[in-house]
């Protein structure tokens, strides 16, 4: 059974940084693209990054470019999201999600999310 | 960036009724790479439809998707109590991937 568990969220001051982790199990991790999607309280979904199965290809929306960095460790079945220069508007639940197929762009498996709160 | 606009914002229906949700794209969605998700409070989204009309694994056949290029719809043929939730469309034909703002399907 596919299992994704996020960790690393918490309360951080504006301008601060966090590293979010997602531990994957139940599938051949190194064969799938992985993604982060966030959801601000009471708001909709926002895609924030994707990384290819090998880690050689990454993508971000403009809102994350330069501040967010996605990476992965295929030996440990981990995907990370480093978030820097945090702003109040980055407050959200951050979900880790797996592509349905090796590279499909739609997400069949999601974690429960980790809450990041940016506040002084 | 492709902007997705969902309509209506809120849809009030009764169990057993048919629901039709719309998603309009500001530009043509490449290869009709349009997905639909369902989200209930406090839970992660659940993939329902991909490639505009293909049902994801385990999704009941009362859910169907249609459309192409810029106009897409999600239809739920006969609403069950567990279908009352928020629905999002997502395009993955080009980066950045984008989501619509959501349609809330509530019990009338």
Q: What is the pLDDT of residues A63-116, one digit of tens each?
A: 888 899 999 999 999 999 999 999 999 999 999 999 998 789 999 999 999 999
Mean pLDDT of the residues in chain A: 96
Any A CB within 8 A of B41 CB: no
pLDDT at A98: 97
pLDDT of residue B4 exceeding 90: yes
For the cut 90, the answer to whether the pLDDT of residue B16 exceeds it is: yes
Q: What is the mean pLDDT of residues B79-108?
A: 97
Residue A56 has pLDDT above 90, yes or no: yes
Cα–Cα distance for residue pair A25/A5, rounded to 1 Å: 9
Q: Which residues of A touch B92 (CB under 8 A)?
A: 104-106
DSSP string, chain B: ---EEEE-SEEEE-TTS-EEEEEEESSPPGGG-EEEEEE-TTS--EEEEETTTEEPTT--TTEEEEEETTEEEEEESS--GGG-SEEEEEE-SSSSPEE---EEEEE-
pLDDT band at A8 (very low <50, low <70, confident <90, very high): very high
- Contacting residues for A58 by C-beta, under 8 A, at least 6 apart: A49, A50, A51, A52, A69, A70, A71
The answer to whether residue B30 neighbours chain A at the CB level (below 8 Å) is: no
Mean pLDDT throughout B58-85?
97
pLDDT at residue A101, rounded to an integer? 87
Best residue of B1, B34, B47, B54 to probe chain A, by most A CBs closer than 10 Å: B47
pLDDT tens digit sequence for B36-70: 999 999 999 999 999 999 999 999 999 999 999 99
> What pLDDT is attached to residue A64?
87
Query: B43: how many CB neighbours lie within 10 A of its CB?
Result: 12
CA distance B96 to chain A (A): 5
Query: Residue B41's CB: how many other CB atoms inside 10 A?
Result: 6
**B75/chain A closest Cα distance in angstroms:** 19
Looking only at the bridges linking them, the beta strands covering B103-107 and B54-55 are unpaired
Predicted confidence band at A40 (pLDDT cuts at 50, 70, 90)?
Answer: very high
Nearest Cβ partner for B47 among A44, A45, A108: A108
| Tokens, residue A86 | 């945090």
Neighbouring residues of B41: CB distance < 8 A, sequence distance ≥ 6? none
Whether B87 has a pLDDT exceeding 90, the answer reads: yes
Residue B19 confidence (pLDDT): 98
pLDDT at A91: 97
Strand-pairing partners, residue A94, are: A38, A114
Number of H helices, E strands in chain A: 0, 11
Residue of A nearest to B2 (CA): A61
* Cβ neighbours of residue A42 closer than 8 Å, sequence gap 6 or more: none
Q: Is B53 on the interface with A (CB under 8 A)?
A: no
| pLDDT category of residue A14 using cuts at 50, 70 and 90 | very high
Is the distance from CB of B63 to CB of B73 less than 8 angstroms?
Answer: no
pLDDT of residue B20 exceeding 90, the answer is yes
Looking at residue A65, its pLDDT comes to 82
Closest by CA position to B63, among listed B74, B72, B52: B74
Q: Which of B33, B56, B95 sits opposite A108 (nearest CB)?
A: B56
Residue from B10, B29, B44 to probe the interface with A (highest A Cβ count within 10 Å): B44
Residue A61: the pLDDT is 95
3-class DSSP state for residue A89? helix
Look over chain B and give the mean of its residue pLDDT values, rounded to a whole number: 97
Helix extents (H) in chain A: none
Q: Which residue, among B31, B96, B98, B102, would best test binding to A if mutated, counting the most A CBs under 10 Å from its CB?
A: B96
Partners of A60 on chain B (C-beta within 8 Å) are 96
């Amino acid at each position: 059974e596919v299992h994704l568990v996020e960790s690393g969220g918490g309360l951080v001051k504006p301008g601060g940084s966090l590293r979010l982790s997602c531990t994957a199990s139940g599938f051949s991790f190194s064969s799938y693209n992985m993604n982060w999607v966030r959801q601000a309280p009471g708001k909709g979904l926002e895609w924030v990054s994707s990384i290819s199965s090998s880690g050689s290809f990454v993508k971000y929306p403009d809102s994350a470019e330069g501040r967010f960095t996605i990476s992965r460790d295929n030996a440990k079945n981990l995907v990370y999201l480093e978030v820097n220069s945090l702003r109040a508007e980055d407050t959200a639940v951050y979900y880790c999600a797996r592509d349905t197929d090796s590279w499909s762009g739609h997400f069949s498996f999601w974690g429960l999310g980790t809450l990041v709160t940016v506040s002084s | 960036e492709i902007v997705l606009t969902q309509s209506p914002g809120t849809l009030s229906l009764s169990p057993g009724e048919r629901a039709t949700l719309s998603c309009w794209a500001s530009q043509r969605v490449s290869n009709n790479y349009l997905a639909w998700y369902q989200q209930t409070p406090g839970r992660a989204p659940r993939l329902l439809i991909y490639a505009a009309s293909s049902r994801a694994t385990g999704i009941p056949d009362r859910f169907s998707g249609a459309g192409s290029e810029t106009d897409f719809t999600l239809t739920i043929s006969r609403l069950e109590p567990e279908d009352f939730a928020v629905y999002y469309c997502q395009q993955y034909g080009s980066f950045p991937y984008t989501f619509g703002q959501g349609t809330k399907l509530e019990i009338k």
